[in-house]
A and B are shown apart, each in its own frame.
Chain A
Amino acid sequence: MTLLPQDLAVASEVYPEIQKAGGEIVGFMPDPPEDVKAMVERTGVKFPMLADPDAAVADAFGLLHADAVPGKNLGRPAVLFVRADGTVAGSFQPANYRCSVTPQELRDGFAGAVTSP
């Protein structure tokens, strides 16, 4: 089961606006490259989706859910809004992994990353 199709759908919906505003969306999946490629093909995601097979990058961001299912590390779902200088302006980190970001939350978060110093 590939979760967060809702997040990806929301991101795909808002992607043209974000591109127009000079921004970018990047997705991270803690899965092997072939799984990520298959998911991109299935969902038609246009923005870069990165394969982070051992969730090492998620871990570096502090977004690892260690032993989420016995013997397997998963990512902690999150949306980060990063400024042009590479610092984090804000984040969306639900307590419930089924809660996905709304288009408006994504727009607002991105606007925060654009305008904040």
Chain B
Amino acid sequence: MGIPVLVSLLGALLVTVAGLLFLPQAPQLPVLAEGDWPKLILVFLGAGWSLLGTVQFLRHGQARLGKVMLALLMLLSLAGAGGISWWILSFSYQLPAPAQFAADKPIPAFELKDQNGNAVSAVSLRGKPVVLIFGRGVW
């Protein structure tokens, strides 16, 4: 087995391992700012090696079956790397920094209508502890 084959196989392995490292985050979404960059670099590195090794083998190698199999593996690696990158880059964007609330300052005044048309305001909520849930909204 020549060096190009090794490089290609190693690249495919790298893409697989990096992809698996992202798996635990699948129920949520990755946040690049929280340390997911190195894994993404691994994915790109693996795809690059796979491409490089396979192209070298296709140019200089002899075994026909080997060429086909390596080319297929390379396509899988590239598709995998592309899919992982798309998933990360299109879904991972940081939200603005958390809002800060002064310890002794009341919440801002507001008045909105609820699902039944009843008005709810900062004043009407006074007198009892309240959990306010802010949603992201439809987009």
> Which chain B residues (76-107) contact chain A, with CB distance < 8 Å?
94-96, 98-101, 103-107
Knowing A23-B131, A26-B131, A83-B129, the reply to whether A48 touches B115 (Cβ < 8 A) is yes
Q: Chain A interface (Cβ within 8 Å of chain B)?
A: 1-4, 7-8, 11, 18, 21-31, 33, 35-37, 40, 45, 48-52, 55, 57-58, 60-66, 68-69, 72, 74-89, 91, 93-99, 106, 109-110, 113-114
What's the least CB distance linking B23 to chain A, in Å?
15
What's the least CB distance linking B97 to chain A, in Å?
9
Residues of A within 8 A of B105 (CB): 87
Contact call B133/A51, Cβ cutoff below 8 A = no
Binding stretch for chain A, among B47-55, B66-74, B119-127: B119-127
What's the least CB distance linking B34 to chain A, in Å?
6
Range of interface residues on chain B? 35 or more
B1 within 8 A of A: no
Question: Can you name the residue of chain A whose Cβ is closest to the Cβ of B114?
Answer: A48
Contact call A62/B99, Cβ cutoff below 8 A = yes
What's the least CB distance linking B30 to chain A, in Å?
8
Contact call B108/A61, Cβ cutoff below 8 A = yes
Question: Can you name the residue of chain B whose Cβ is closest to the Cβ of A30?
Answer: B137
A74 to B138 Cα, complex, angstroms: 8
B59 within 8 A of A: no
Name the one of A1, A8, A55, A85 contacting B106, with C-beta atoms under 8 angstroms: A85
Question: Can you name the residue of chain B whose Cβ is closest to the Cβ of A80?
Answer: B132
